[in-house]
């Protein structure tokens, strides 16, 4: 049988209200009384009921983080940062996985309302804007990574247009002119903006856009594999592939391994977003870093600001700003090479075992 606040009050021979004030650190109780109540509560094994406390104070001390999955290394980093920041301030983080599915997202939002959360950081699907807007009237919300175009919610984004531009320009500077792009769906912020950066770099270099080199889909390994096959099977395959998400890169690497395509000798590969083993891979994978840790820290800062403003009746804490950007940066490793420099000669062993596709062998600029 659980110990109640009433049990603690009776053991200490004080009123329930005095016990409550002492154990929550609120109200007028002497330090000596508070220390005695804390000791008695500990001896009895009393644990406060957060739901009951939330009903009284209007605060649950629960903040939710809703992301698509935990396969994505960026989401893993974000979850770790958000949890650590909130824990240090006495909040508990509710980690929710929506699978980039609008119905799952909608169901989760309904459940979070029932839990009386104090705040929400969400990577939106873009399909439940009306529900998010309604929830935001009572709960401070910050969108992360993606913008929901149907809402006016505060949003923290990576500088995806500039990041994709830097990556594409890097490949162009290495002599590549036929650059394949595997990008996200165009109904998402990241998908549209990473495509725009790629197109801008081509345009500035005087390279015509070739839609046969551009493939879009969900950021999953299967998309990377399917798109890589289509690109490598072209009559004039690309000499480089820019994969705008690290999960899709896993599918591309599977296809290059199946076809015995050497990176970067036969094909240069650049990835948007990092994951730990990309640096350990041989060759180490060059990446455009989207700044996942900085994105998460900024999202927490903005959410806490909004929560504080709401609690102090100072408005919604928006400061008139609705969108924040975190800069992306290019990290050069070993998976991209200049194509005006001859590739190293293959050993006799690799020649005898080679089964590279003719498409890969005949890649032209």
Checking if the pLDDT of 220 tops 50, the result is yes
pLDDT in tens, 306-357: 999 887 765 555 556 689 999 999 999 999 999 976 656 655 443 333 334 4
In the chain the domains, ranked by start, together with CATH numbers, are 5-48 (no CATH), 59-158+292-327 (3.40.50.2300), 160-289+330-361 (3.40.50.2300)
- Amino acid 117: pLDDT: 95
- The alpha carbon of 127 is separated from its chain's Cα centroid by a whole number of angstroms, namely 18
Which tokens is 310 given?
A: 């709401």
Q: Report the pLDDT value the prediction gives residue 52, as an integer from 0 to 100.
A: 55
| pLDDT given at position 2 | 77
pLDDT digits (tens, 9 = 90+) for 291-301: 999 999 999 99
Residue range 117-138: average pLDDT?
95
Across residues 176-194, what is the average pLDDT? Answer: 95
At residue 145, the pLDDT reads 95
Cα angle value 115/52/45 (rounded, 5°): 115
Q: Tell me, what's the pLDDT at 3? A: 81
By the 8 A CB rule, do 284 and 278 touch?
yes
What are 280's two structure tokens?
């350990």
The residue that leads in pLDDT, 22 or 345, is 22
Please tell me the predicted confidence (pLDDT) of residue 348.
45
Q: Confidence class of residue 23 from pLDDT cuts 50, 70 and 90?
A: confident
Contacts of 327 (CB under 8 A, 6+ apart): 158, 159, 162, 291
**CA–CA gap between residue 126 and residue 129 (Å, rounded):** 6
Q: What pLDDT was estimated at residue 356?
A: 40
What pLDDT is attached to residue 349? 43
Q: What is the rounded CA–CA span in Å between residue 249 and residue 271? A: 7
pLDDT at residue 18 is higher than 60: yes
Looking at residue 42, its pLDDT comes to 87
Residue 93 half-sphere exposure, CB side, CA atoms within 13 Å?
A: 22
Mean pLDDT of all residues in 176-180: 98
Q: Pick the residue with more confidence: 149 or 51?
A: 149
Report the interhelical angle of 31-44 vs 5-12 (nearest 10°). 120
pLDDT 10s digits, 53-112: 554 555 688 999 999 999 899 999 999 999 999 999 889 999 999 999 999 999 999 999
Mean pLDDT on 107-124: 95
Instruction: Please state the rounded mean pLDDT for residues 231-260.
Output: 97
Q: b or e along 88-114 (b: 16 or more beta carbons within 10 Å of the residue's beta carbon)?
A: eeebebbebbbebeeebbbebbeebee
Mean pLDDT confidence for 219-232? 96
> Residue 147: what pLDDT?
92
Task: Compute the mean pLDDT over every residue in the chain, rounded to the nearest whole number.
Answer: 88
């Amino acid at each position: 049988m659980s110990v109640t606040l009433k049990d603690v009050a009776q053991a200490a021979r004080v009123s329930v209200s005095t016990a409550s004030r002492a154990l929550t650190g609120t109200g007028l109780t002497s330090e000596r009384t508070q220390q005695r109540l804390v000791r008695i509560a500990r001896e009895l094994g009393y644990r406060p009921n957060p739901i009951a406390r939330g009903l009284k104070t209007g605060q649950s001390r629960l903040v939710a983080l809703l992301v698509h999955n935990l396969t994505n290394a960026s989401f893993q980093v974000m979850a770790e940062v958000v949890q650590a920041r909130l824990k240090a301030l006495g909040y508990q983080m509710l980690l929710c996985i929506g699978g980039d599915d609008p119905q799952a997202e909608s169901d989760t939002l309904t459940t979070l309302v029932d839990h009386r959360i104090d705040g929400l950081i969400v990577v939106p699907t873009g399909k439940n804007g009306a529900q998010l807007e309604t929830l935001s009237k009572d709960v401070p919300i910050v969108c992360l990574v993606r913008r929901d175009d149907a809402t006016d919610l505060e949003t923290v984004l990576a500088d995806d247009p500039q990041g994709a531009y830097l990556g594409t320009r890097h490949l162009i500077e290495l002599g590549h002119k036929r650059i394949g792009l595997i990008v996200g769906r165009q109904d998402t912020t990241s998908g549209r903006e990473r495509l725009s950066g790629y197109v801008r770099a081509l345009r500035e270099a005087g390279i015509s856009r070739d839609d046969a080199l551009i493939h879009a889909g969900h950021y999953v390994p299967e998309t990377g594999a399917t798109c890589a096959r289509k690109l490598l099977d072209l009559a004039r395959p690309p000499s480089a592939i820019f994969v705008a998400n690290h999960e899709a890169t896993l599918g591309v690497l599977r296809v290059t391994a199946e076809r015995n395509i050497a990176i970067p000798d036969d094909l240069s590969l650049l990835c948007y977003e990092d994951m730990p083993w990309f640096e350990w891979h041989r060759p180490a994978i060059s990446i455009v870093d989207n700044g996942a840790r900085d994105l998460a820290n900024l999202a927490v800062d903005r959410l806490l600001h909004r929560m504080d403003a709401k609690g102090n009746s100072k408005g919604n804490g928006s400061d008139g700003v609705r969108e924040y950007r975190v800069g992306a940066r290019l990290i050069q490793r070993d998976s991209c090479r200049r194509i005006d420099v001859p590739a190293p000669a293959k050993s006799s062993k690799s020649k005898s075992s080679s089964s590279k596709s003719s498409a890969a062998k005949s890649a032209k600029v």
